Amino acid sequence: MNTKTTKKQQDETDRQLRIEQLVLEHAKTDADIKALTDRKAELKALIADELDEGKHPFGEYDAVVTCPMRLDTAALAKDYPITQHPNLYKASLDTAEVKKRFAPAALDEYRSPGAKVVTIREAGQR
């Protein structure tokens, strides 16, 4: 047996173990973040149930409760249709429609690489 081959095999085994540990830590971190995010949302809902709008001091912290207003875009569109008020609307490229009308190869020249994306899933999940 060649010592060089054995060293290469050991290095690859060590590398695989390091990557496996990173994947496992990532998966645990995801689970922890989900649990904390869920709990944070639950706490905010409980606080919102207890407090009126405004700023409420609690020790070093202020609980600020707001009820922001949002535009009802459906109602606006109904009352101000594009045919009568085109200045209120903007056009944008519909990429779903582009993908329907062009062969994938025809769009190759318009593709650019993004950043690497790492997804960690439980084995067997898609």
Residue 125: what pLDDT?
65
Residue 116: what pLDDT?
78
Secondary structure of residue 63 in the 3-state scheme: strand
Strand (E) positions, the chain? 54-58, 61-65
Backbone angles phi, psi at 17, to 5 degrees: -65, -40
pLDDT mean by block of 10 residues, the chain; 126 residues = 79 96 96 97 94 92 92 95 94 93 94 82 70
Q: Domain segments of the chain: what residues?
A: 9-110
Q: Where are the alpha helices (DSSP H) in 1-126?
A: 3-50, 73-79, 95-101
With contact defined as beta carbons under 8 Å apart, do 67 and 53 qualify? yes
